[in-house]
Amino acid sequence: MKLPIYMDYQATTPVDPRVLDAMLPWFVEKFGNPASRSHAYGWEADAAVTKARKQVASLIKADPREIVFTSGATESDNLAIWGVAHFYREKGNHIITPTTEHKAVLDTCRHLEAEGFQVTFLPVQSNGLVDLRMLEAAMTDQTILVSVMAVNNEVGVIQPLEAIGRLCRSRKVLFHCDAAQGLGKMPMDVNAMNIDLLSISAHKIYGPKGIGALYVRRQPRVRLKAILHGGGHERGMRSGTLPTPLLVGLGEACQLAASEMVAEHQRVLALRERLRHGIMSQLTHVELNGDLQARVAGNLNISFNYVEGESLMMAIKDVAVSSGSACTSASLEPSYVLRALGVNEEMAHTSIRFGLGRFSTEEEVDYVVHIVVNGVNKLREMSPLWEMVQDGVDLNNLQWAAH
Amino acid sequence: MIYLDHNASSPLRPGILDVVLSVMAQQVGNPASVHWAGRMARQYLDEARRHVAALLDLHESRIVFTSGGTEANNLALFGLAAAKGYQGELLTSQVEHPSILQACEVLAHQGMTVKYLRVDGAGRVDPGEVASALTRQTVLVSIMAANNETGVLQPIHDIGAICQAAGVPFLVDATQWVGKIPLHPDSVPADLVTLSAHKFGGPKGVGALIITPSLLLEPRMLGGGQERGRRAGTENLSGIAGFGAAAALIKTTLIHEQSSVTALRERLESQLLAAVPDAVLWGVQAERLPNTTAVGIPGLDGETLVMTLDLAGFAISSGSACSSGKTTPSHVLRAMGVDPALSQSAVRITLGWNSTSHDVDSFVNAFYRSVNRLRKGS
């Protein structure tokens, strides 16, 4: 087994060698600008873009004409939420989104709030799932958009998209779904789920970084205001030269995801369960964060009581894992997602996200179980609190003397 | 096939693909992650930033990576407009790239005043007109460094001095300039500069906006805080690494390439005029990029000529590629006062780092034959 071990598949995934192979010819021999309509270089690039658009659409059961290529899921989220809010502001000014969304969604919504929109940041249940009755109760006649992610990046829980979609459709509210973490890991069907806008990222599904897409429904037609203006590419919704090799990579990644999803799910789920049982059967005072059933196969998020998350990260530094979302892990703030699930600050600080994926092996899992268990035991031995816990002191009921 | 459409997109330079592929093939993480995989990713980002900074002779903290020139131009215009509460005047020219013109149109809808400066017959903006168009309400002057269709250089140094004296920020869209002529934004001086990697042999899908630190600019893409909060989203790591490598490469080859491409272009234009004596070259009274030739053939349809040459194995363009299928006459030539009938015959030949004298000679031969055949046919 090779060290170090990468176990952070929710932060980013390695490029699948087959995706790389598909991209190769488009870098050098076939380098035309797909917008060049007058020569063969442009035409063949345009044909490649068309194929990629079909591959992406097919994975979410959409029409290729409904796919807008972007620089990634962050841009897709910005375009969907900002674009819809600005196009439909005459119709209403209210947006609903859970407090556990990705920053790209939350920050865009906060920005809209500063512009005068009303935003309901919906609390989630302690298992991380949206409560449909609360969502319905939050809707007003001013509500134009609900934005709920398919799968949470930190705790991996799968939101009830079909039910949310049905509710939104019945209330004539647009439904945006950030599917960056869900795509390729669970079946996505924009029609069965009544999704109107859906954000896609290539680098979360073994494609290259710097490319993504936004699905925008054509029937009934969803309109949005563009963020990037220029040559009028992507039917005016997103200008800028299309990076052919990256698009080919996204397309290929989607096709691989479609053909391998079922088998991969089984394999990764078995690894995840091996990891979970391995850790949780050997350690006490550990908590699983987020629902176990409604959860993607590749995610395990555990809080280790009586150790510090950062110290544990150091103890297992050969393994790339994350304490909180990759986008926020450079800060020492406890994860806002775990806090929203009701996890207390201390337990949030001691949480580790293990992300498994296509290239994870049983051997790696066994090694990680071993060093995590050892690391936690060692750190606990050094913890004065742990000694008290061992002696039966209930720390939650400690009465500190007031001086 | 001989490719003479470098202003639309220039093929990857030697060695750049290896950099792009090695980043993609490695187990690198998300640059936002703190672990070893994230650190490795961050090192690629930092290195690329250093290379781009060295090319432009400025501090690396001023570089904000984007998905390309279009995004950089949009970030500059909308970011500044938002910081000014969408009030005040924008000063630009009639010959800018669509990403500037379209963005200005949207900003005009939002209540800003946009003034479009005209150009002379050679395609140049008059710095004197910039000076007299400036008012106390002007919040930004946006003038491209070099035109994509004609290669005409704008007097950015004169305009930069005028803007600096007036205390108005100056945005230079240097998408076509960078990689063809050395550029030092501080000597312009420019407050905002737009770059695109694929226009000078770097990868597609990556560009940059150079920002003066003191300039207030609201981000357009939110969430995640990348690029010091100026541009959110996981970075296009392999693209940025390729961008950096291309910048490092041209820093050493640029001067030599500038003169060799200029010589090739002279060869092309003199042969072209000898072959088709009534051909009209545009922008020649002005300083131009070394690689760009914009030419009209009276009585011919430019689109047809381009198609004919494509069949003969030569890729050129009949205008800018960004007009994506639209066959409207060039707004640049119209602004230069070119007769609309003649501008229908316009084609653009743009040389690049891999062009040879043999390419030029065989192109002129094919051009000569195509023009004659089309003229006989009509």
How is residue A269 annotated by DSSP? H
Bridge partners, residue A158, by sequence: A151
| pLDDT reading at B29 higher than 80 | yes
CA–CA separation, B32 vs A209, rounded Å?
A: 13
| Contacting residues for A238 by C-beta, under 8 A, at least 6 apart | A68, A69, A70, A79, A214, A226, A227, A228
Tell which residue, B322, B319, B249, has the closest CA to residue B73: B322
| pLDDT reading at B319 higher than 70 | no
Query: Which among A20, A33, A239 has the least Cβ separation from residue B25?
Result: A20
Tell which residue, A182, A131, A129, A175, has the closest CA to residue A153: A182
Please calculate the CA angle A317-A320-A324 and round it to the nearest 5 degrees. 105
Whether A104 sits inside 8 A of B32 (CB atoms) is no
Residue B26 pLDDT: 87
Whether A239 sits inside 8 A of B3 (CB atoms) is no
CA distance B23 to chain A (A): 10
CA–CA separation, B289 vs B346, rounded Å?
A: 18
| Phi and psi, residue B362, nearest 5° | -70, -30
> Which residue of chain B has the CA closest to A112?
B222
Query: Which among B17, B35, B236 has the least Cβ separation from residue A71?
Result: B236
- Residue A357 backbone zone (phi > 0: left; psi -120 to 50: alpha; other: beta): beta
Report chain B's mean pLDDT, rounded to a whole number.
95
> Which residue of chain B has the CA closest to A17?
B25
| Residue A233 in contact with partner chain B when CB distance is under 8 A | yes
- C-beta of residue B194 within 8 angstroms of C-beta of residue B69: yes
CA–CA separation, B22 vs B15, rounded Å?
A: 11
Please report the sign of the dihedral spanned by the C-alpha atoms of residue A387, residue A393, residue A394, residue A397.
negative
Residues from chain B contacting residue A243 (CB–CB below 8 Å): 67-68, 198, 203-206, 239
| Residue A11 in contact with partner chain B when CB distance is under 8 A | yes
> Which residue of chain A has the CA closest to B312?
A39
> Which residue of chain B has the CA closest to A331?
B34
Mutate to test the interface with B, among A214, A227, A228, A310 (most CBs of B within 10 A): A228
Share of chain B above pLDDT 70, in %: 97
Mutate to test the interface with B, among A24, A39, A105 (most CBs of B within 10 A): A39
Task: Give residue A174's identity as a one-letter amino acid code.
Answer: L
| Contacting residues for B141 by C-beta, under 8 A, at least 6 apart | B90, B91, B92, B130, B134, B159, B163, B168, B169, B170, B171
CA–CA separation, B314 vs A36, rounded Å?
A: 13
How is residue A323 annotated by DSSP? S
CA–CA separation, A308 vs A348, rounded Å?
A: 10
Q: Which two tokens stand for residue B366?
A: 């094919």
| Phi and psi, residue A199, nearest 5° | -95, 140
Whether A27 sits inside 8 A of B12 (CB atoms) is yes
Whether B235 sits inside 8 A of A210 (CB atoms) is yes
> Which residue of chain B has the CA closest to A313?
B35
Residue A403 pLDDT: 59
CA distances from B118 to B126, B133, B172, B206, B344 (A): 8, 11, 17, 31, 21
CA–CA separation, B314 vs A2, rounded Å?
A: 50
Bridge partners, residue B39, by sequence: none
Residues from chain A contacting residue B13 (CB–CB below 8 Å): none
Query: What string of pLDDT tens digits covers the 403 residues of chain A?
Result: 889 999 999 999 999 999 999 999 999 888 777 777 777 888 888 999 999 999 999 999 999 999 999 999 999 999 999 999 999 999 999 999 999 999 999 999 999 999 999 999 999 999 999 999 999 999 999 999 999 999 999 999 999 999 999 999 999 999 999 999 999 999 999 999 999 999 999 999 999 999 999 999 999 999 999 999 988 888 889 988 889 999 999 999 999 999 999 999 999 999 999 999 999 999 999 999 999 999 999 999 999 999 887 788 889 989 999 985 444 455 567 889 999 999 988 888 889 999 999 999 999 999 999 999 999 999 999 988 888 888 888 777 666 666 5
Residue B32: alpha-carbon gap to chain centroid? 30
CA–CA separation, A184 vs A207, rounded Å?
A: 11
Q: If residue A287 lies in a helix (H) or strand (E), which one and from where to where?
A: strand A286-288
CA–CA separation, A198 vs A220, rounded Å?
A: 15
| Residue A375 in contact with partner chain B when CB distance is under 8 A | no
End-to-end CA distance of chain A: 55
Burial class (CB in 10 A: 0-12, 13-18, 19+), A293: exposed
Q: How many residues does chain B have?
A: 378
Residue A328 pLDDT: 44
CA distance B211 to chain A (A): 19
Q: Write the secondary structure of chain B as one string of H (helix), E (strand) and C (coil).
A: CEECECCCCCCCCCCHHHHHHHHHHCCCCCCCCCCHHHHHHHHHHHHHHHHHHHHHCCCHHHEEEECCHHHHHHHHHHHHHHHCCCCCEEEEECCCCHHHHHHHHHHHHCCCEEEEECCCCCCCCCHHHHHHHCCCCEEEEEEECECCCCCEECCHHHHHHHHHHHCCCEEEECCCCCCCCCCCHHHCCCCEEEEEHHHHCCCCCCEEEEECCCCCCCCCCCCCCCHHHCCCCCCCHHHHHHHHHHHHHHHHHHHHHHHHHHHHHHHHHHHHHHHCCCCEECCCCCCECCCEEEEECCCCCHHHHHHHHHHCCEECECCCHHHCCCCCCCHHHHHCCCCHHHHCCEEEEECCCCCCHHHHHHHHHHHHHHHHHHHHHC
Whether A210 sits inside 8 A of B237 (CB atoms) is yes
| Residue A14 in contact with partner chain B when CB distance is under 8 A | yes
Q: Tell me which residues of chain A, numbers 268 to 307, contact chain B at a CB-CB cutoff of 8 Å.
A: none
Please report the sign of the dihedral spanned by the C-alpha atoms of residue A305, residue A310, residue A311, residue A312.
positive
Residues from chain A contacting residue B35 (CB–CB below 8 Å): 8, 313, 317, 319-322
Query: Which among B34, B204, B316 has the least Cβ separation from residue A329?
Result: B34
Q: Tell me which residues of chain A, numbers 213 to 232, contact chain B at a CB-CB cutoff of 8 Å.
A: 227-232
3-state secondary structure of A225: coil
Spatial strand order of the sheet with B207-211 comes to B63-66, B207-211, B192-196, B170-173, B138-144, B89-93, B113-117
Residues from chain A contacting residue B30 (CB–CB below 8 Å): 8, 11-12, 203, 326-327
Is-catalytic flag, B163? no
CA–CA separation, B67 vs B305, rounded Å?
A: 33
> Which residue of chain B has the CA closest to A329?
B33
CA–CA separation, B23 vs B45, rounded Å?
A: 11
Return the exposure string of A191-215: e unless at least 16 CB atoms fall within 10 Å of the residue's CB, then b: eebbbbbbbbbbbbbbbbbbbbbbb
Residues from chain A contacting residue B344 (CB–CB below 8 Å): none
| Residue A160 in contact with partner chain B when CB distance is under 8 A | no
**Looking at B24, B165, B322, B341, which residue is catalytic?**
B322
Burial class (CB in 10 A: 0-12, 13-18, 19+), B131: middle
> Which residue of chain A has the CA closest to B68?
A240
Residues from chain A contacting residue B37 (CB–CB below 8 Å): 4, 6, 8, 320
Residue A172 pLDDT: 97
- C-beta of residue B371 within 8 angstroms of C-beta of residue B272: no
| pLDDT reading at B324 higher than 70 | no
- Average pLDDT for B292-311: 94
pTM (2 d.p.) = 0.93
Q: If residue A302 lies in a helix (H) or strand (E), which one and from where to where?
A: strand A299-304
Tell which residue, A228, A242, A299, has the closest CA to residue A83: A228
Query: Which among B1, B196, B310 has the least Cβ separation from residue A38?
Result: B310
pLDDT per position as a tens digit, B41-100: 999 999 999 999 999 999 999 999 999 999 999 999 999 999 999 999 999 999 999 999
- Average pLDDT for B216-228: 91
Q: How many residues does chain A have?
A: 403
Whether A233 sits inside 8 A of B324 (CB atoms) is yes
Please report the sign of the dihedral spanned by the C-alpha atoms of residue B371, residue B373, residue B374, residue B378.
positive
Bridge partners, residue A319, by sequence: A5
CA distance B373 to chain A (A): 19
CA distance A70 to chain B (A): 9
| pLDDT reading at B378 higher than 80 | no
Q: Which two tokens stand for residue A338?
A: 């775990």
Q: Where are the beta strands (DSSP E) in A74-167?
A: 94-98, 118-122, 143-147
CA–CA separation, A128 vs B219, rounded Å?
A: 30
Query: Which among A105, A106, A326 has the least Cβ separation from residue B30?
Result: A326
